[in-house]
Structures are given as C-alpha cells and as structure tokens.
Structure 1
Amino acid sequence: MLAFSILIALILSEYTASADGWNYDFQGKDWGESFPNCDGIRQSPIDIQSEAVLSAHYLSPFFFSEAFYRPVQKATLSNTGHGFKVSVDGNGLNMGGGGLTHRRYELLQFHAHWGDHTRFPMGSEHTVDKRQYPAEFHFVFKSKETSTLAVLGFFVELSDIAAKGGLGNLIDLLAQTKFDKDSSSGSEDGNHDDGNEAVDSSVDISNHLKMSDLIPIGRNGGELDGFYRYSGSLTTPPCNEIVEWTVFHKPIFISLKQYEKISECCLDTTGEVTQNNFRPTQPLNGREVFTSLDSDGIPVWL
C-alpha cells in the first residue's frame, strides 16, 4: 500500500506538468517515445458521440462539503511550464456521489487547457460530436479510501458577460504566473545551469477564491445534473490509465477578454506564450461512455 501511494504521488506530480521531457510541439503524438503509457488503449481525452452514449442508472447527484462554499484557506497559483495550476489540497474540499467508485474524494488541484486566437475556438481537450470548445477546466480529485483519481471536466464557452467572483478574480491573477523570459530554463523550477537565482513562479492566493464560484454547484447541485462518464487516463505524460472521468454537459461561461487573459497568461520555460496546450482526442477502443440523463434529458435518478 505504501509503495502504491508513492507511485500515485509520483504520477500526480507528473500530471501537474513537469517542464522537462515533453511539450505540445506535436500535440502529444511523440509522447509515447518517452512515456509508453501514452500509446495505451484507454487514453484521454475522447470525442463524446452523443448518439452512442448510454444512460446509466448507477449515476447519481454529486455532493460537496461545506468547504466548497467558503474561501479556500490555502491555495497556490503556479506556472507549470505548460500552463497554470492551482493547488488546494489540505483544505477539506471533499466530494462524493456522482456514481463514482469510492465514497469520498478530496480536491488536490485544478488547471486548464486552451488554444490561441488563430485557431479559435479550438482549445478544449474533450469534444462532443467533434465540436471543440475554446478551453476546458480540469478539477483533479483523489479518493480518500484508496489513491485512485477522479477528474471533473468543464468546457469553457464565451459570453457577452464576464465571469464575476472567484473565477473572474482567478483570471485577473493569472498575469502573475508568467516565467521571466531571461531567467527561465527547461528545468521545472526555472533554475539556470550557471547558478543564477531561480524565478519564483508561484503566487499565494489563499482566501482569494471559493470553489463554489468555480464549480457551478449551487446549493442544490442542479447545474451538475447532466454529465458524461467514462474510464480513461491522464491527458499529459505519463498518461497513466487511472482516471474516472466526468465531463459536464453545461459549460462555464467567460468573456472574450477573459479568454484572452487565460490564453496569454503563461510563458513556458523558453519565454514563449503557452498556447494550444491541449491533447487531441484519442480512440475509444471499445470503451463505453455513459450519461446521467435519459432520452428526455431528465436525470436518471428522478
């Protein structure tokens, strides 16, 4: 059990995106050369074909602990070299339900994937009937009973109205996550081989956001009634096939200006703006995709 926990910790550290060993130059097509799991048969993301999904009565509403409705007491915003990440583990941000395998999961971190202005609206990793959204948020949870992962994915769509509250504040804070072009290198911490001082790419954003402003849970959870479920993998190296995926039907809405802030938020370790940090969809290879809604669009538990 200890060895397995250590393995999961190593996988999680990779999933938060090491700046060493891989990039998006070929949209992940070359990852299998260094990370064999990336050539596996249960890879993510996927294209969700709405006519082929199956209604599953084992799916149920999600529930979230009270900590989701309070300011997060300990949160760190960082530049991973492939985008931004917000670490929030240790705050009692627990989730359950949803038909997930285990009773309770703790939120560890969340991050996003996006495109650029020239390929707009490409940017999300999952697609629905080949439709790609401008961006996609991933909220990474770990089981409290074991060390398995559950990821909640939300598409990002554009609106004439800017997102307010925690999400708007987070987007405004993203400008602080850039690496300094003259001080960064290919290493994860931005260290120079010549011994120059490393650039601090992390920002303490404790008490600056509430998770209920980011995940549209409300008090009744109705916004989360519609979702897809399938078994897959991490969407970045090492691509381990250990994730129970939930992708929600309803997107998160932000303005075009806010999308531009996200897509220009982060410099990679070469000093270039991080864009198109999404992996293309992978073959289903016979996997089934389930939905929480019946043929009339009503949650299966009603």
Structure 2
Amino acid sequence: MLLFTLLLEVIWILAADGGQHWTYEGELENQHCLWASEENCSRSIRDSDLTLPGPHGPDHWPDSYPECGSNAQSPINIQTQSVTFDPELPALQPHGYDQPGTKPLELHNNGHTVQLSLPPTLHLEGFSGKYVAVQLHLHWGQKGSPGGSEHQINSEATAAELHIVHYDSDSYESLSEAAQRPQGLAVLGILIEVGETKNPAYEHILSRLHEIRHKDQKTSVPPFNVTELLPPRLEQYFRYNGSLTTPPCYQSVLWTVFNQRAQISIGQLEKLRETLFSTQEEPLTLLVQNHRVPQPLNQRIVLASFIQVRSLYTTGKMLSLGVGILFGCLCLLLAVYFIARKIRKKRLGNQKSVVFTSAQATEA
C-alpha cells in the first residue's frame, strides 16, 4: 500500500509539473488591483515594490498548459445572491478522517505550497462515487496583504485556504488518470480566517514548518484527527464544477467550498507567511502569495446546499434604519406623553369647573 501511495505521488508530480517551470510571479499586482480602485490601480502598482509579471507567472500559464486558459477555471468569486439552492445535495460524509492510521504523514515543501500526504483510508461519501483522499495543502498571502484565500465569497477573501484533494477511486485506477477526467477529482475548500485562539489541529502542520523551510524538504507528522481541520457545519456548502488552481489546471474538479470558516490565530498565520522558502539555495525567496485570483464564472452554475438568508440592506443602511426607528419611537413616545398630559390637564380643569359650579349652586 505504501508503494502504491508513493507511485501515485510520483505520477501526480509528473502530471502537475509536465516538465515546465511555473510560478505565481505576476499574480501579485493583479491581486492588488482587486483591492485598489480602478483609477488608482496603475499608479499603485507603479509606486509600489510589487514584482512585475514574470515569464512563468499566471498570465503565461496557458502558454505551457493550455487548459489554464479554458472557460471553467478555479478559483471563483461566489456571489451568494446568484447561487441556486439544491435541496437534493446530500450531506458530506468524511470517513476515516478521525482515524488516519498509525503511520506518520509526510509533510512536503514543494516550492509552491506546503503539502501533507493522506492515506487512502480517508474517503468521502455524499457523491455519486467514492472519493479517496490523496493530500491536503494550503494557500496564503503575505504580511500586510488583506487576503490569501483563493476562493472568495461576495468578493471577500480570507487570510488563507485549505484544500483537501480526493479522486474517484470507483471509476479510475489512479490520481493521474482521474485528474484528466470530468469530475475525476473532488476537492474540499476551507476558508481560513484569523481568530483569537490557536487552532490545535492546524498546529499539527504549522509547528513543523521550520523543518521544511527550503524547497523539496520533507518531514514526518504524527497522524492526527483531520476532521478537526474542517468547519463544524459540513452541511452548509457551495458546489460547482471547476479546475485545479495550479498548472496543469485540469477542469476535472468537483468543488465543495464550505460556507463556514475555520480559524487560526494571528501567530499561526504569521508562521505560515514567514517560515517557508520557494527556493533551495541563495538567494532565498519567501514562499508567499501562492494563490490564484478568481477566474470568470462564465456560464457555470454554483449550487448551495442551504438557503441563503439574504439581507436587502447593507450594515450601514441597517444601522441608519435602526437609528431612524429608535428616533421615531422616541418622538412618538414624547407626542403621546404631551397629548396625555394635555388631556389630563383638561380633565383637571373640567373637574375644578364642576366643583366651582356646584359650590355656587349650594350657596344660592
């Protein structure tokens, strides 16, 4: 089984690299333009220290990997007002995640990301077939940047993103075969944001990064409960057909992006951003900004396993509306108070008049 797993990994590396060199260089300024206003984009790039597009960056991926320029690429920006609720989407069922065996897991700095190998005893149900786990890896930004995730929800990126890669073992003999077939792969996307406390599950990975600082270095990680890397509510997710987010960009991925996020501490995020290098020797290049920008959705449909609670108002409008309602209620209370006071005063006046008239009648 170990030999089979190693063979799969070798095949996958050969399929992914294809003998061509590729980088994220050139993605940096494109991502910056997403955060800058359109009129300030060119000036912001010119005045900054951002790296200019390289000959192997994302804009040039289609030159060596044609499918990277196709029309069903990932990641995407999920617009919740445009998703389609599908009540027939089944609950996701990860099996073996809580007990990944007794053998150590291999953690690898491949120059593009940090990747953890997973045993085939981990698999997913809730699809048309059985999808066996192969590996998980992370995408992140750099210090000072607002994002790092690949997928976005309503144009909002998070600090990082975890991908757990599986292949359809019922239909295909290997990962490399499945990667080139429609829906041959199933990838779970977990958006990661910064929380107040350290996440123990992610610490199993992040605490070992110092052992694989340079490209191609590997280390062993004791098996742990992989389920704890996932958000609590697995029944809330988005589903769409897409691609690998790195070359060769095969459009064979059935994506499941969870609505709920995982959290890591700011210290854990800094460890991810500041520990790894994408090179082996001097000059060392920090491994950061390893995320692809959202790709056009084109004619694809994004399904949701849950009904979106949509607000007709922004936070600012809701606040203004709340203040307006409060002010209106206060004015109404004051009006009622003064009207009641006036009525009471009038009644007291009428009572005095009646008493005065009665007194006169008695005297007469």
Residue 196 (structure 1) aligns with: none
Q: Does 1:44 align with 2:54?
A: no
256, 261, 265: which is aligned to 1:246? 256
CA distance in 1, matches of 2:271, 2:167: 29
**SS of match in other structure, 2:268:** helix
Residue 160 (structure 1) aligns with: 196
Checking the alignment, whether the CA contact within 8 Å between 1:136 and 1:153 is kept in structure 2 is yes
Q: Once the two structures are superposed, what CA deviation does each residue of 1:66-120 show, in whole Å capped at 9, x if it has no partner?
A: x211254341000010120001133x011101xx3x331111000010001121x
CA distance in 2, matches of 1:162, 1:18: 38
Residue 212 (structure 1) aligns with: 227
Q: Which runs of 5+ in 1 are unaligned?
A: 1-7, 190-200, 218-222, 298-302
Residue 114 (structure 1) aligns with: 140
TM-score (structure 2 length as normaliser): 0.67
Structure 1 residues 144, 55: CA separation in 2 closer, same or farther (over 3 Å shift)? Answer: same
Q: Which moved more, 1:135-144 or 1:24-33?
A: 24-33
Larger Rg: 2
- 1:168-187 correspondence runs (5 A): 168-179=203-214
CA distance in 1, matches of 2:195, 2:15: 30
Checking the alignment, whether the CA contact within 8 Å between 1:72 and 1:88 is kept in structure 2 is no
Q: Once the two structures are superposed, what CA deviation does each residue of 1:259-287 show, in whole Å capped at 9, x if it has no partner?
A: 01111231112521100000000001110
CA distance in 2, matches of 1:265, 1:19: 27
Structure 1 residues 279, 163: CA separation in 2 closer, same or farther (over 3 Å shift)? Answer: same
Structure 1 residues 86, 15: CA separation in 2 closer, same or farther (over 3 Å shift)? Answer: farther
- 1:1-302 correspondence runs (5 A): 12-13=12-13, 21-27=21-27, 28-65=58-95, 67-74=96-103, 75-90=105-120, 92-97=121-126, 100=127, 102-119=128-145, 121-146=146-171, 147=178, 148-164=184-200, 166-179=201-214, 189=216, 201-207=217-223, 209-216=224-231, 223-269=233-279, 271-295=284-308
Q: Which runs of 5+ in 2 are unaligned?
A: 1-7, 28-57, 172-177, 179-183, 311-364
TM-score (structure 1 length as normaliser): 0.80
Checking the alignment, whether the CA contact within 8 Å between 2:93 and 2:125 is kept in structure 1 is yes
**SS of match in other structure, 1:13:** helix
Letter in 1 for 2:256: T
**SS of match in other structure, 2:193:** strand
Q: Once the two structures are superposed, what CA deviation does each residue of 1:218-238 show, in whole Å capped at 9, x if it has no partner?
A: xxxxx1111000000000000
Structure 1 residues 15, 255: CA separation in 2 closer, same or farther (over 3 Å shift)? Answer: farther
CA distance in 2, matches of 1:23, 1:203: 24
* Percent identical residues: 31
Higher relative contact order (CA 8 A, sep 6+): 1
The number of residue pairs the alignment matches comes to 258
Structure 1 residues 151, 274: CA separation in 2 closer, same or farther (over 3 Å shift)? Answer: same
**SS of match in other structure, 1:85:** strand
Letter in 2 for 1:177: I
Structure 1 residues 17, 252: CA separation in 2 closer, same or farther (over 3 Å shift)? Answer: farther
Structure 1 residues 71, 178: CA separation in 2 closer, same or farther (over 3 Å shift)? Answer: same
**SS of match in other structure, 1:30:** helix
CA distance in 2, matches of 1:124, 1:19: 27
Letter in 2 for 1:271: L
Shift of 1:15: 7.5
Checking the alignment, whether the CA contact within 8 Å between 2:231 and 2:260 is kept in structure 1 is no
CA distance in 1, matches of 2:19, 2:274: 18
CA distance in 2, matches of 1:203, 1:171: 12
Q: Once the two structures are superposed, what CA deviation does each residue of 1:168-198 show, in whole Å capped at 9, x if it has no partner?
A: 222111221111xxxx6xxxx5xxxxxxxxx
Checking the alignment, whether the CA contact within 8 Å between 1:111 and 1:138 is kept in structure 2 is yes
Shift of 1:20: 5.2
Structure 1 residues 83, 9: CA separation in 2 closer, same or farther (over 3 Å shift)? Answer: closer
Supply the RMSD in Å over aligned alpha carbons: 2.2
